[in-house]
Structure formats: C-alpha cells, structure tokens
C-alpha cells in the first residue's frame, strides 16, 4: 500500500479538532468507538472516519481476496447522526480484531499514528485464517481473482451522500501493492460508472492522480437497506446473482411458495381463520427511512392479493423526520405505537409492525394489550415462532429438528423457558449484540436468534441447506416417476405431508436473508408462519407471557472497574457487587433476575441543532432434520431487572442501580 499517498489524501479529510480548526497540534474533539454496529456520532464529526473506513474495507478485501462492504447509516439513531458499518466478505460482521484496528485507525492522530494503524491492518497475519474459501465457501472463481472490491450503500439521511463520498475517497488512496509480508497483485485502478444498479455493474479503468500502483474498485449502490448490502456482499462472493432485483426475487418467490402452501382450501377446518389472516392488512411503520421504498418494491412484486401492506411513515413530507417517535426502536423501548402515521386511528387488533431507519430490525405490535400489558411484542417471540415452524416442518419430514436458539442476557426469561421447555430446544447465551449471536447461530445446522430489540434471523448451514434441497429434489423426482409409471390419472397432485414440508423448508431457507437479520425478510417470514398456523397476533402472543422487565443505566467514573463473565450476566469485579446483586434478586422472588454490564456510549456536550454551522468536507447431524462541539464517550453501566410483577421489577431495578452506584464509582446523586 502506498502509505504516503494515503497520508497525502487524508489531508482533505482531517479529524475534528476541539477548537474547530484544522491545526494538527489541537487536541481531537472526540474519540471514535466502533460499537456493536459500527461508528455512530453526529454526522458532522465523521468525515475523517468515513474516509478511513474506505481504506479499512479496501485492505480487508485485499487481505481476504473477496469483496467487502460499507454501509453509511446510523440505524435507529436520530437523523442528525450518521455512521459506518463495515461488512466482511461473508456478508457478516468484521472479526473483533479488525473492528479494534478500524477503531485505532479512526482515532490515529498525525502521520506517525496513522502509518502505524495502517501497517497493523496490512500486516495482519491472521487474515489468511479468515480466507473465504476456507471458512465460508466463497466461490473460488471470485476469491483472489478480482481487484480489491468494496460495495457501498447508504440510508436516506441528508448527510449520507457527502459521507459516502468520503468513503469512496478512502478507497482510492488505499492502493494495494506488493507488501513485505504479503504479495498483492497490481490490478489497476477502477472507477464505477454510476448507472442504475444491475446484476453486473460495469467499470472503466482510470488513472488515480499521482498513483501508479493498484487500487480498490467501488460499487456504489446508492440507497439500500443495511441488510440488502450485507446480502449483496454475501451473494457476490459466492458467485450468486447479487443485484437488488435478485434480492427481491429471492424473497418474493420464497414467500409465494410459503403462502400458496397455507392458502385456505375447501374442507380445511381452519379455512375461515386462514382466509381472514390472508386478507388482513398489515400496517407497516417504515420509520421515514430507506425501508419504505424497498417495501414498496417488494409489495408490488407480491401484489395486494398475496400480501396486503399499508405503508405508513414513508418519508418525503414536511416533518417526516427519520426515527422521530416512529420506528422499531421507539416502539420497543417506549412500549407504545408510533406517534405518527395514523396508528392511533386504527381499530383494536389491527396487525402492525415497525421497522427501523435502515430496516435491519422489526417489532410487531397491536393496539390491544400485548406482552406485559403493553402494545408491542418483543422480538423474542420471533425466535419462538420461527423455531416452532421450523421444528414442525422438520418433524413432518421424519427428521429431527436440529436447530438451536441463541439468546442474550436481555432475552426475556419467559421466552427462554418456552423455547427450552415447550419446544425442547437448546439455547446458547452469548454477550449482547448480533456480532456475538450470529457466529454462534452459524455453528449449528439451524441457528435462530432474535434480540428483544428486533435484531435477529435464522441461519441455515450450507450442509443443512444442501440436505434440504437434495431431499426436496428427490421427492419431486419420485413424484414425476410415479406419474410416468401410473399415468396422469394417479393422484400425484396430492402432496404427501413429507414432500410438502420439504418444499416449505426449502422456501424458508430462501425467504430468510442468509447474511444478517433483515426487517423486510422478517415481515415475510412472520406473515408466512402466521398463515401456516392460522394465527392472528393474539394467538402468537399467547405462546407465553413475558415477565415484567426494566432497563436502566448508571453513570460511573470508569466502566473498566466492572468486569463480567457468563455472557455478561455476572460481574467479577468490583468485589462484592455481584453478591449484593444476588441478594437483591433473591429478595425479589423466584422469577427474578438482574445483571449489570458496562458500556461506553457516545456523548455530545453541544446540541448540534443549536448551532448554525457544520463542516461536511467531505456442522450437520446424521438425521437432519454532536454537531460541532466537544463530543466523546461516557462510561455507563446498563442495568437489567426482571421479576414476576411490575412492582417487583421496578423495585429490583432501583436496588441494583443503587448497588452499582455505591460499589462501582457512580457519578452524581445516587439513584
């Protein structure tokens, strides 16, 4: 890599300084933290970080010999924020060490620190262990045979276009040439012809200014949901069709198969219920985000007869602020319907769902009382429904349902008990975040996870998918042979239960985004499952009752004073704190539990909306089956408490907050 060229180009993307100047001697304004889903801060602070994210993605592509991706989004954050999420070659998250190195590069101050951070990325000996052909079966025809390639997309935030341009700028100087520790072939610089997106983007070679070495190519896809970009990277590196239309056709085709299997027929004892469910409108809160246009496209492919959707909060009108009292995060945290989009005028029992700003999570809700006396269903129920459906279909094929459910400490105890006791499935608890849950899900034949906040998916291993495909193909071949032998008058049109289940399982593997949790995919899967079981939301809600829970936070001087174990459910330090929490839990009853986990969160000391200036320079079982101003980070401890009653949950949360404040260096008045 031509480090000197990168350093020269970076001068046009200086990090924000505390005094608002470009003076390198001035201290940095903020610390950039790569959190559970990337960098997120007020948009005007991010130009330098976006530029450097472009370089990280290009170096990662060169190191693995496969395409990577960058999404410019801050998901459910307010519209004034933005961020970057880096997508690895398999369509999932970066390895933790690369996240740490990306963070180091984002915070590097001066040429010496920046050079050291770049060299750490280029010299990562462990990158070879992440090779796509070894781990994720990346197509050999793709891996290692193309120039470093980065797919780029953004959500609808006004700041997105400028920040995406900064990412593209970071790609161009990341010119990858022979390195002492790894030889990277020189392949010439490329520039994307920005034409409407299709399955085979075209490029034209260009000479990057002042550079003769090789460079990365950027496939700028414009406006996309975060899960769409993950899918594009996943599909491209497997040699699959990876255009946006291919994504839509995959989901729509799979849903049509699932829906046709559950359509009400004469003689069906549940025909009336099924017909009502099939014709019931689903009211979708799009959070005024990028998911609105994509859902509109998906709805047009399906048609209102197949899936009647009423899209609300689609953006484009005055006052339609992204994620402002709308969206999955608002509904899940506030336990109320969106305040915009006419949801208050809907009749009781109307089926509603909210997605978030970049459409990577969803929460179903209804105006009627739902879990814990509120009007929304935590997404733990999604995991229960998907696991139940998958298990039913697997048993119908006379195979064992070999799936497992991933949970975090935040999964409601009632949902975990239902999965373990009623469904008889193993659960595996991980630390909080998709980056921890998804790898665990990938280690099973079928892994299912949904966080309470709406993030989640089901993951079918390549071996499981191949076994389902092979079994379905054999059933179809046997049916064709029977018709040939017995003539057309044989009852070959009547599917056996096993063959029908196999067809539906196969469709399920395609209705689910294989790369990451996806709100668009999630809506289709949930609707297909509700139809298949003849359920409304009340039936779904009746699977189990959530225990009342509370989430709070306590500011502390140093979050590092608290260390945890057992998937963040128990504190090992400070000494005595966990014993005190255990005592409080015992006093709260047999259903109670609580934990405290340290977090570093971004903070801004100046409200960006108060300022008039910004700077934007910018394995398978044998029987399968800010704004301008000082900004930085704040040390906090997240407290979760759960008990049998609301009063007990409230009391337990208060007591654990007091314990944390007293024993872990709380800041300010005690709770």
Q: Which helix (H) or strand (E) holds 19?
A: none
**Which DSSP state fits 376?**
B
Tell me the C-alpha to C-alpha distance, in Å, between residue 647 and each of 194, 553, 653: 58, 19, 10
- Whether 475 and 504 have beta carbons less than 8 Å apart is answered as no
The 10 Å CB-count burial string (b at 16+, else e) for 492-501 is: beeeeeebbb
Q: In the block, which residue shows the tokens 């899918």?
A: 231
- Whether 390 and 401 have beta carbons less than 8 Å apart is answered as yes
Q: Is 521 a catalytic residue?
A: no
Cβ count near 317 (within 10 Å): 9
- Whether 218 and 171 have beta carbons less than 8 Å apart is answered as yes
Tell me the C-alpha to C-alpha distance, in Å, between residue 453 and each of 146, 371, 381, 593, 669: 38, 14, 11, 19, 29
The 10 Å CB-count burial string (b at 16+, else e) for 632-668 is: bbebbbbbbbbbeeeebbebbbbbbbbbbbebbbbee
Q: Which of 313, 379, 310 minimizes the C-alpha distance to 79?
A: 313
- Whether 671 and 651 have beta carbons less than 8 Å apart is answered as no
Q: Which of 618, 580, 1, 517 minimizes the C-alpha distance to 234?
A: 517
Tokens of 527: 């609707």
- Whether 604 and 44 have beta carbons less than 8 Å apart is answered as no
Q: Phi first, then psi: what are they for 667, rounded to 5°?
A: -105, 135
Q: How far apart are CA 639 and CA 660, in angstroms?
A: 9
Q: How far apart are CA 137 and CA 568, in angstroms?
A: 32
Tokens of 607: 């409200």
Strand partners, 406: 428, 449
Strand order of the β-sheet with 403-408 is 426-430, 403-408, 446-450, 456-460
Q: Which of 82, 89, 96 minimizes the C-alpha distance to 32?
A: 82
Q: 155 in helix, strand or coil?
A: coil
- Distance in Å from the first CA to the final CA of the chain: 52
Catalytic residue among 75, 549, 602, 604: 75
Tokens of 469: 């495909």
Angle separating helix axes 380-396 and 497-511, nearest 10 degrees: 140
- Whether 435 and 90 have beta carbons less than 8 Å apart is answered as no
Q: What secondary structure does DSSP assign to 594-614, as a single string?
A: EEEEEEEEEEESS-GGG-S--
In terms of residues, how long is the chain?
671
Q: 515 in helix, strand or coil?
A: coil
Strand order of the β-sheet with 549-555 is 549-555, 631-642, 593-604
Q: How far apart are CA 115 and CA 570, in angstroms?
A: 39
Helix %, strand %, coil % of the chain (to 5): 40, 20, 40
**Which DSSP state fits 253?**
H
Angle separating helix axes 519-533 and 291-302, nearest 10 degrees: 40
Which sign, positive or negative, has the C-alpha torsion 89, 111, 191, 168?
positive
Catalytically active residues are 75
């Amino acid at each position: 890599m031509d480090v000197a060229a990168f350093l020269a180009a970076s001068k046009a993307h200086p990090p924000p300084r505390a005094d608002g100047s470009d003076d390198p001697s001035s201290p940095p304004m903020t610390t950039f933290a790569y959190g559970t889903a990337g960098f997120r801060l007020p948009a005007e602070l991010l130009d330098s970080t976006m530029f450097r994210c472009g370089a990280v993605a290009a170096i990662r592509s060169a190191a693995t010999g496969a395409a990577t991706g960058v999404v410019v989004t801050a998901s459910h954050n307010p519209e004034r924020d933005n961020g970057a999420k880096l997508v690895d070659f398999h369509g999932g998250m970066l390895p933790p060490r690369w996240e740490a190195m990306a963070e180091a590069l984002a915070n590097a101050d001066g040429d010496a620190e920046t050079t050291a951070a770049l060299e750490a990325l280029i010299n990562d000996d462990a990158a070879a262990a992440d090779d796509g052909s070894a781990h994720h079966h990346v197509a050999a025809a793709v891996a290692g045979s193309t120039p470093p390639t980065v797919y780029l997309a953004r959500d609808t935030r006004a700041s997105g276009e400028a920040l995406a341009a900064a990412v593209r700028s970071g790609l161009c100087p990341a010119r990858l040439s022979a390195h002492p520790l790894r030889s990277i072939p020189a392949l010439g610089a490329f520039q994307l012809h920005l034409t409407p997106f299709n399955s085979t983007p075209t490029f034209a070679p260009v000479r990057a200014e002042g550079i003769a070495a090789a460079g990365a190519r950027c496939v700028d896809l414009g406006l996309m949901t975060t899960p769409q970009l993950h899918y594009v990277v996943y599909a491209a590196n497997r040699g699959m069709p990876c255009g946006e239309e291919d994504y839509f056709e995959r989901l729509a085709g799979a849903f049509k198969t699932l829906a046709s299997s559950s359509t009400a027929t004469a003689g069906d004892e549940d025909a009336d219920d099924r017909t009502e469910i099939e014709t019931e409108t689903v009211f979708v809160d799009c959070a005024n985000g990028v998911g609105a246009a994509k859902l509109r496209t998906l709805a047009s492919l399906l048609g209102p007869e197949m899936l009647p959707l009423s899209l609300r909060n689609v953006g484009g009108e005055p006052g339609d602020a992204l994620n402002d009292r709308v969206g999955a995060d608002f509904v899940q945290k506030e336990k109320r319907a969106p305040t915009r989009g006419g949801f208050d005028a809907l009749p009781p029992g109307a089926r509603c769902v909210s997605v978030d700003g970049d459409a990577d999570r969803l929460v179903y809700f209804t105006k009627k009382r739902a879990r814990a006396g509120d009007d929304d269903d935590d997404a733990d129920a999604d995991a229960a429904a998907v696991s139940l459906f998958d298990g039913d279909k697997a048993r119908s094929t006379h195979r064992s349902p070999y799936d497992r459910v991933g949970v975090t400490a935040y999964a409601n105890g009632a949902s975990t008990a239902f999965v373990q006791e009623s469904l008889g499935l193993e659960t595996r608890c991980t630390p909080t975040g998709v980056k921890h849950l998804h790898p665990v899900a990938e280690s099973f034949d079928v892994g299912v996870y949904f966080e309470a906040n709406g993030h989640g998916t089901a993951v079918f291993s390549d071996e499981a998918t191949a076994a389902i495909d092979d079994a379905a193909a054999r059933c179809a071949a046997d049916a064709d042979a029977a018709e040939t032998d017995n003539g057309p008058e044989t009852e070959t049109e009547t599917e056996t239960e096993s063959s029908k289940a196999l067809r539906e399982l196969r469709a399920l593997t395609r209705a689910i985004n294989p790369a990451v949790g996806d709100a668009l995919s999630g809506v289709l899967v949930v609707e297909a499952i509700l139809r298949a079981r003849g359920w409304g939301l009340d039936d779904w809600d009746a699977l189990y009752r959530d225990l009342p829970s509370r989430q709070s936070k306590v500011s502390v001087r140093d979050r590092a004073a608290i260390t945890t174990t057992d998937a963040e459910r128990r504190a090992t330090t400070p000494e005595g704190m966990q014993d005190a929490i255990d005592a409080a839990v015992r006093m709260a009853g047999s259903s109670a539990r609580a934990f405290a986990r340290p977090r570093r969160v971004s903070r801004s000391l100046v409200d960006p909306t108060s300022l008039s200036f910004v700077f934007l320079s910018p394995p398978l079982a044998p029987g399968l089956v800010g704004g301008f101003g000082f900004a930085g980070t704040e040390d906090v401890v997240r407290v979760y408490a759960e008990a049998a009653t609301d009063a007990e949950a409230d009391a337990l949360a208060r007591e654990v907050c007091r314990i944390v404040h007293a024993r872990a260096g709380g800041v300010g008045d005690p709770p």
